[in-house]
């Protein structure tokens, strides 16, 4: 089913509440545009505070019955939806290419990856386990069970419109929680189609609502202030994550935070350079550099730096830039003009500090919000581009001499999400991985995301883990029953 390049006819463009398309109170809408062309794709309903509370009424009303469904029932719905998403690969690919600017190849990859969370958590739903123990004193029995935390608010970013949603929604539903989804304002369409697919798969009314909104805080503020909400899960900037943690303190909400990154990508002098260059392209240029695990700082041993940078530059110059929906394109646009301006500012500052532009270095004239794939070398140690998340197709190369020096530089950041290292020494791989302050380390491997692995960060990169056997725990409370 589906027609690549055409918006699916059954795409909901209203709010999704009680398994129905609903206009926003007052009829407000906002525009969704294609960043490859600037063209209007469609308008969607713009939720406000009243709509948020309507969705929460619906989620709170559905919570007890959903929690009481059998794990197998929840599992079957998730698995059915997994198959339905794969059946509609072209539709989801189209929406992500059009609303986000993700290339067709990568959007197809995200459909597989995003859908996989539904399959994985359909399998986890039936494996939620507690424990039984005898009290050491001999006069009691300890029963520990797991119960759903309750209604969840899931706030997601635009860079993975499907997968960032399913990574939260699937474990929450598997655990027996109802969910209110607030997708990013740049990319609400993918989430709206996902809601329809889940309803068609048998998800009862009220269990999932979707609230697109131009003013995120107008929707999330009233929800976080309402004691019926029990949990907030967020992926986005560290700045907004901190605001949400503050607001969550009010009602002592359980929180999961997937925040920014500043990933070091370390190439030692004993690395397989072919593999390291391949890896750097993937870790840096995937999604046009717009992922929180993108290689932000590429540290290369001075002995191999020139060779590595020359090869990397040649590969990056050869990347095909263009409208995301075109089949051969490898680098699409940045999601909006604001992001393009931000990346341009970071590059300009780095150049002012003495960086050398090996290729690119500038935005590309419109239509569309494109930034030329870029390589910067000789970047000064204090440069802003080494401290801030770039979120664009800009590879920043920095030389180093010793292992101690590069580990210290890699850890010299408030972030700690992903890190990568390339070496052929097993000793060094273990030694350095253990010293890196990050939630995830890719060893001779540039793709760390895996549904079966715990994704998440340390330091200001976040709280909690998504995916793996850990992912469902974020939506469960521990309940202890004391028996004589």
Whole-Å CA distances, 4 to 1, 10, 389: 10, 15, 32
Q: CB burial class (10 A; 0-12, 13-18, 19+) of residue 402?
A: exposed
Q: Identify which of 360, 357, 401, 362 has the alpha carbon closest to the alpha carbon of residue 379.
A: 357
Distance of CA 347 to the CA centre of its chain: 24
Q: Tokens in use for 219?
A: 């929707």
Q: Which is nearer to ligand ADP, 240 or 316 (CB)?
A: 240
The verdict on whether 258 is a catalytic residue reads: yes
Q: Is the dihedral of CA 311, 420, 266, 383 positive or negative?
A: positive
Per-residue tokens: 400: 């180093």
- Residue 52 CB, nearest distance to ligand ADP (Å)? 11
Beta bridge pairs of residue 296: none
Residue 239 CB, shortest distance to ligand ADP, in Å, is: 7
**CB of 153 vs ligand ADP, minimal distance in Å:** 9
Residues making contact with ligand ADP (CB under 6 A): 155-157, 182, 184-185, 216-217, 220, 236-237, 240, 243
CB of 267 to ligand ADP, least distance (A): 28
Q: Which is nearer to ligand ADP, 312 or 385 (CB)?
A: 385
CB nearer to ligand ADP: give 124 or 185.
185
Q: How far is the CB of 255 from ligand ADP (least distance, A)?
A: 13
- 272: phi then psi, degrees, rounded to nearest 5: -75, 105
CA angle 400, 402, 404 (to 5 degrees): 110
Containing H/E element for 154? strand 152-155
Q: CB nearer to ligand ADP: give 240 or 432.
A: 240
Number of residue whose CB is nearest ligand ADP: 236
Task: From the candidates 124, 258, 473, 474, give the one annotated as an active-site residue.
Answer: 258
CB 134 to ligand ADP: min, Å: 46
For residue 367, say if its preceding peptide bond is cis, omega within 30 degrees of 0: yes
CA distances from residue 264 to 288, 351, 435, 446, 448 in whole angstroms, order as listed: 17, 20, 13, 11, 13
CB of 167 to ligand ADP, least distance (A): 14
Strands 254-258 and 231-235: parallel
Please, which residue, 309 or 449, has the CB nearer to ligand ADP? 449
Q: Which stretch of DSSP H or E encloses residue 71?
A: helix 71-87
Q: Give me Rg for the CA atoms of the chain.
A: 23
**Residue closer to ligand ADP, measured from CB, 47 or 372:** 47
Question: Tokens 């939630």 map to which residue?
Answer: 439
Nearer to ligand ADP, 58 or 248 (CB): 248
What tokens were used for 106? 């990568």
Any idea which residues carry the catalytic annotation?
258
């Amino acid at each position: 089913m589906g027609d690549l390049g055409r918006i699916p006819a059954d795409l909901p463009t209203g709010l999704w509440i009680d398994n129905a398309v609903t206009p926003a109170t007052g009829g407000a809408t906002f525009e969704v545009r294609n960043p490859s062309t600037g063209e209007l794709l469609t308008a969607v309903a713009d939720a406000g505070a009243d709509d948020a509370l309507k969705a929460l009424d619906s989620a709170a009303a559905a919570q007890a019955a959903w929690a009481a469904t059998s794990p197998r029932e929840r599992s079957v719905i998730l698995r059915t939806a997994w198959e339905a998403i794969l059946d509609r690969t072209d539709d989801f690919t189209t929406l992500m290419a059009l609303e986000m600017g993700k290339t067709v190849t990568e959007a197809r990859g995200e459909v597989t990856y995003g859908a996989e969370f539904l399959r994985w958590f359909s399998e986890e739903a039936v494996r939620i386990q507690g424990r039984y123990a005898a009290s050491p004193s001999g006069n009691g029995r300890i029963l520990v069970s797991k119960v759903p935390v309750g209604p969840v608010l899931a706030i997601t970013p635009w860079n993975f419109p499907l997968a960032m949603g399913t990574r939260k929604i699937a474990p929450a539903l598997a655990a027996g929680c109802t969910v209110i989804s607030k997708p990013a304002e740049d990319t609400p369409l993918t989430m709206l189609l996902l809601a329809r697919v889940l309803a068609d798969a048998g998800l009862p009314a009220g269990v999932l609502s979707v609230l697109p909104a131009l003013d995120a805080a107008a929707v999330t503020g009233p929800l976080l202030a309402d004691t019926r909400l029990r949990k907030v899960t967020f992926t986005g900037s560290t700045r907004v994550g901190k605001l949400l943690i503050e607001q969550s303190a009010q009602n002592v909400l359980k929180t999961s935070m997937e925040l920014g990154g500043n990933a070091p990508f370390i190439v030692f002098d004993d690395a397989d350079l072919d593999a390291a260059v391949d890896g750097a392209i993937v870790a840096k240029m995937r999604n046009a550099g717009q992922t929180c695990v993108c290689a932000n700082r590429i540290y290369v041993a001075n002995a191999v730096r020139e060779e590595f940078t020359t090869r990397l530059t040649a590969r990056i110059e050869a990347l095909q830039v263009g409208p995301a929906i075109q089949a051969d394109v490898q680098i699409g646009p940045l999601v909006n003009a604001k992001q393009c301006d931000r990346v341009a500012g970071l590059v300009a500052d780095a150049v002012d500090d003495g960086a050398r532009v090996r290729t690119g270095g500038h935005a590309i004239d419109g239509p569309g919000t494109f930034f030329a794939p870029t390589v910067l070398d000789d970047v000064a140690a204090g440069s802003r581009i080494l401290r801030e998340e770039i979120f664009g197709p800009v590879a920043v190369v920095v030389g180093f001499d010793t292992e101690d020096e590069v580990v210290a530089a890699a850890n010299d950041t408030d972030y700690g999400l992903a890190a990568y290292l390339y070496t052929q020494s097993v000793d060094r791989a273990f030694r350095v991985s253990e010293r890196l302050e990050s939630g995830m380390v890719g060893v001779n491997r540039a793709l760390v995301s895996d549904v079966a692995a715990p994704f998440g960060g340390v330091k200001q990169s976040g709280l909690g883990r998504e995916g793996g056997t850990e992912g469902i725990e974020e939506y469960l409370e521990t309940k202890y029953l004391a028996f004589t």
